[in-house]
Amino acid sequence: MVVTREGFTRVVGNAFAGLGFPAEGPSVFEFPMKMFAKGDDLSAIRQNLDKVVYGLTKWAPKTRTKGTFAPPKVMVTGKDYAGAVAGMNHLFLRNLWSDALPLLPPTEDQVRWMLRGTDLAPTTVVAKILPRGAIATVEDLAVSLVMAGGRPEYLPVLIAAVQAITRPEWGLSAANPTTDSVIPAIIVNGPVAAQIHLNSGYGLLGPDPQHPAGQAIGRALRLVQQNLGGAIPGVGTMSLFGGMRTTNAVFAEDEEGIPPGWKSLSGDRGFPGGANVVTATPVNGGMNMAEHFGTKPVNDGTLTMIAKFMSIPNGNTWSPVMTLDDWNSPDLARGVVLIPRGIAASLAQDSGYSKLDVKTFLWKKAKIPWSDLQAMDLAQSFILRATRLGVSEGGDLPLACKPEQITIVVAGGKHSGHCYWMPVGHSNRRLVSQEIRLPEKAEWDSLLQEAENDLYSKVSCGENMECSVPQASRL
């Protein structure tokens, strides 16, 4: 028996499906939305108590059998190929299998091609995608990547990203259905980033035809969250705004731009140099920070500015259920600071800052003033949270327990002038890192060469714009 607020019945059904309960879901009673507003009364509970009692004592599921099933394949026809593709997109929209942008057909032939990106068997189970709880196999991820316009060399990164966000400590079961605009930020380290042309520089969070990998992988990941995890707006996810959800945020660290003596993000996470790694953290969008301080490219004013953005009160920073173990964990997600190589170099060379020095500076400055909490009528709520974690009542609240919990990634264009802050997108969650498993070397090298031929070879066009292009490896 579940008591919930108006509009959340299908979210509850998704969650119960993920626990293995029948598709019709549990006995649910919805209470009016206004009942949950501050100062409202609870008379609706008394007036409907018999329905609650019925759910607790008499309700039983109609379905009595259990097991898994694979849905049948879909066939779409049309007067020509273009008509069939249009019909497929209409069908997928009607069935809520689409993200509302045109999809490529996941035909058997295309999925076989996509599966060249891994040595894993197509039926290999990668994860259970909560809250709906559908089982994601390698083939399912390949299907999503085909629909998103991806390529086989992207598949290993998608598999690792799904493995990362489905770890319990990442919290997908809450991040998928929440009212927040939480998205996975997937940060890639290692040679694989350059091999698949994953963007780490100019425009890395947006569209770029020179670096299509991030958009395709992020879109495929969103399709997995939606079609297998049930994250359909107003149905399985109640995100009020859904910011940046079409393609999530998938990008690489600018490892060439990391100053000497600084570690990469994967190095901070304990991985050796040269390891191919994804690190996933929940964020809820981002804020560009323009810095124009003094004549030097960087000074302490830049870091103070970043700290001010990090100090904007955010309910996700302080969860009511956060424990001491959470607060002290080196993996506790606090958000991500993106610093371009020019500013990183100045911090290291002009100011002599190590990466830990920068984290420590931000940690000391990134605090929520108690006066701000009082002005927003949040002080009492935050007192209860803070005192439980050993933070003094009335003192400014720190963003993190210790400097090491601040996540810094060197990324962005080569110029200075701007940094970027991606605040934590869901309460009480952890960063998760996962190694990327590539197929055997000969197949991997073949895929990379095909990508070079398809996407990155020079194209010659005549005066009448008739263009000569290399033979594509795939139509």
pLDDT at 294 over 50: no
pLDDT of amino acid 428: 79
pLDDT of amino acid 474: 55
Are residues 311 and 218 both part of a single domain? yes
Is residue 302 within 8 Å of residue 293, measured between CB atoms?
A: yes
Are residues 21 and 115 both part of a single domain? no
pLDDT at 210 over 80: yes
The token pair that represents 273 in the structure block: 């140099």
What does the angle CA 273 – CA 254 – CA 420 come to, to the nearest 5 degrees?
130
In this prediction, residues 354-371 reach a mean pLDDT of: 92
Lowest mean pLDDT among 34-38, 157-161, 216-220: 34-38
Is residue 155 within 8 Å of residue 145, measured between CB atoms?
A: yes
Cα–Cα distance measured from residue 244 to residue 422, given in angstroms and rounded to the nearest whole number: 12
pLDDT of amino acid 310: 94
The token pair that represents 464 in the structure block: 């009448």
In this prediction, residues 394-410 reach a mean pLDDT of: 89
Question: Is the bond preceding residue 131 a cis peptide, omega within 30 degrees?
Answer: yes
Are residues 186 and 265 both part of a single domain? yes
The answer to the question of residue 458 being in a domain is: no
pLDDT of amino acid 107: 96
pLDDT at 309 over 60: yes
Cα–Cα distance measured from residue 184 to residue 160, given in angstroms and rounded to the nearest whole number: 13
pLDDT at 293 over 70: no
The answer to the question of residue 440 being in a domain is: no
Are residues 125 and 30 both part of a single domain? no
* pLDDT band at 13; cut points 50, 70, 90: confident
In this prediction, residues 166-174 reach a mean pLDDT of: 94
The answer to the question of residue 455 being in a domain is: no
pLDDT of amino acid 296: 52
In this prediction, residues 357-363 reach a mean pLDDT of: 96
Are residues 352 and 412 both part of a single domain? yes
pLDDT of amino acid 392: 66
Is residue 259 within 8 Å of residue 345, measured between CB atoms?
A: yes
Q: Which residue has the higher pLDDT, 12 or 439?
A: 439
pLDDT of amino acid 21: 67
Cα–Cα distance measured from residue 137 to residue 90, given in angstroms and rounded to the nearest whole number: 25
In this prediction, residues 432-449 reach a mean pLDDT of: 98
pLDDT of amino acid 475: 47
If one counts every other C-beta atom within 10 angstroms of the C-beta of residue 300, the result is 14
Cα–Cα distance measured from residue 312 to residue 143, given in angstroms and rounded to the nearest whole number: 40
Q: How many domains does the chain have?
A: 3
* pLDDT band at 18; cut points 50, 70, 90: low
Q: What is the DSSP pairing of strand 28-31 with strand 2-5?
A: parallel
Strand locations in 167-255, DSSP E?
183-189, 249-252
229-282 pLDDT tens trace: 999 998 889 899 998 899 999 999 999 999 999 999 999 999 999 999 999 999
Mean of all residue pLDDT scores within the chain: 88
**In 3D, which of 187, 239, 103, 177 has the Cα closest to residue 431?**
187
269-284 pLDDT tens trace: 999 999 999 999 999 9
State the sign of the Cα–Cα–Cα–Cα dihedral 106, 109, 113, 119.
Answer: positive
Are residues 287 and 347 both part of a single domain? yes
pLDDT of amino acid 154: 98
Are residues 136 and 254 both part of a single domain? yes
Q: Which residues are CB-neighbours of 439 under 8 A, at least 6 positions away?
A: 116, 117, 118, 119, 156, 447
Q: Which residue has the higher pLDDT, 163 or 24?
A: 163
**Paired strand residues for 133:** none
What does the angle CA 42 – CA 10 – CA 59 come to, to the nearest 5 degrees?
70
Is residue 157 within 8 Å of residue 278, measured between CB atoms?
A: yes
Are residues 123 and 94 both part of a single domain? no
pLDDT of amino acid 72: 86
With residue 281 as reference, give the H or E element that holds it: strand 277-283
The token pair that represents 275 in the structure block: 């390891």
The answer to the question of residue 138 being in a domain is: yes
**In 3D, which of 63, 70, 74, 73 has the Cα closest to residue 17?**
63
pLDDT at 23 over 70: no
Are residues 387 and 334 both part of a single domain? yes
pLDDT of amino acid 472: 53
Ranked by mean pLDDT, the top range of 295-304, 435-444, 455-464 is: 435-444
The token pair that represents 373 in the structure block: 């909490």
The answer to the question of residue 422 being in a domain is: yes
Are residues 331 and 314 both part of a single domain? yes
Cα–Cα distance measured from residue 475 to residue 473, given in angstroms and rounded to the nearest whole number: 7
Are residues 176 and 300 both part of a single domain? yes
In this prediction, residues 170-197 reach a mean pLDDT of: 95
The answer to the question of residue 245 being in a domain is: yes
Cα–Cα distance measured from residue 402 to residue 328, given in angstroms and rounded to the nearest whole number: 8
Are residues 40 and 129 both part of a single domain? no
The token pair that represents 299 in the structure block: 């000074």
The answer to the question of residue 473 being in a domain is: no
The answer to the question of residue 454 being in a domain is: no
Range(s) of the domain holding residue 95: 75-99
Q: Which residues are CB-neighbours of 337 under 8 A, at least 6 positions away?
A: 306, 310, 362, 406, 407, 408, 409, 419, 420, 421, 422
* pLDDT band at 288; cut points 50, 70, 90: very high
